[in-house]
Structure 1
Amino acid sequence: MIKVNEYFEGNVKSLGLNNSQGNYTVGVLLKGTYEFSTSTKEWMTLTSGNWDLELPGEEKKSYAIWESCEIPSGIVFKVYVNEDSSYLCRYE
């Protein structure tokens, strides 16, 4: 089953899949700043576009295309989307 998610008045959308390799979402984000919370550990990978991520207690960091960021469970973090972007997210 494919799970459809929509956030921030439709500016962030994703499709979710859970299979034998794990739990994943692929999605798109329109330019803007978004704050997300986590309930599990995640790995976010930028697949196109340009963004910066800011984890609690850390400075904002830019990521290259296909670069991943490990995001701990139980935090709130910010994504600064500098141009419309796409991503892959794996959940643990």
Structure 2
Amino acid sequence: MSFKNVEVKTRANVYHGGKVTSRTIITPEGEMKTLGVMLPGTYRFSTQAPEVMELSQGHCRVKLADQQSWSDYQAGQSFSVPGNSHFEIEVTDLLDYICHFG
């Protein structure tokens, strides 16, 4: 996947001591996305807007705020997180992702 004619925010978004990083892009239509990498580990994130996490590379397990069990995902798959919520993610190998907001 590629994005053309986007605005790229040069300041990195850095989380969990640098184990999760991303860059924000804004499409010509005004859509905000982040392109990021997660190193192996378990992380918790809170959301404001709804998000769709699209995996480009790697494997992970995800537990949404309202769920008791973990779900497995791999490259080529995606999962949705509601706004004003949170999720836990366990990354087993380098995870490359695109996060779509709204």
After TM superposition, is the score higher than 0.5? yes
Whether 2:73 is the aligned partner of 1:73: answer no
Q: SS state of the match for residue 17, structure 2?
A: helix
1:39 is matched with which residue: 32, 36, 48?
A: 48
Aligned-partner Cα distance in 1 for 2:99–2:66: 22
Runs of 4+ in 1 over 3 A off after TM superposition: none
Cα deviation, residue 64, structure 1? 2.4
Aligned-partner Cα distance in 2 for 1:11–1:81: 11
Aligned-partner Cα distance in 1 for 2:78–2:40: 19
* Structure with the larger RCO, 1 or 2 (CA within 8 Å, 6+ apart): 1
Aligned-partner Cα distance in 2 for 1:11–1:5: 11
Show structure 1 runs of 5+ residues with no match: none
Q: Which residue of 2 aligns with 1:54?
A: 63
TM-score (normalizing by structure 1) = 0.93
TM-score (normalizing by structure 2) = 0.85
Aligned-partner Cα distance in 2 for 1:78–1:44: 13
The structure number with the bigger radius of gyration is: 2
Alpha-carbon displacement from aligned partner over 1:22-65 (angstroms, at most 9, x marks no partner): 11001000100000000000000111011011101221100121
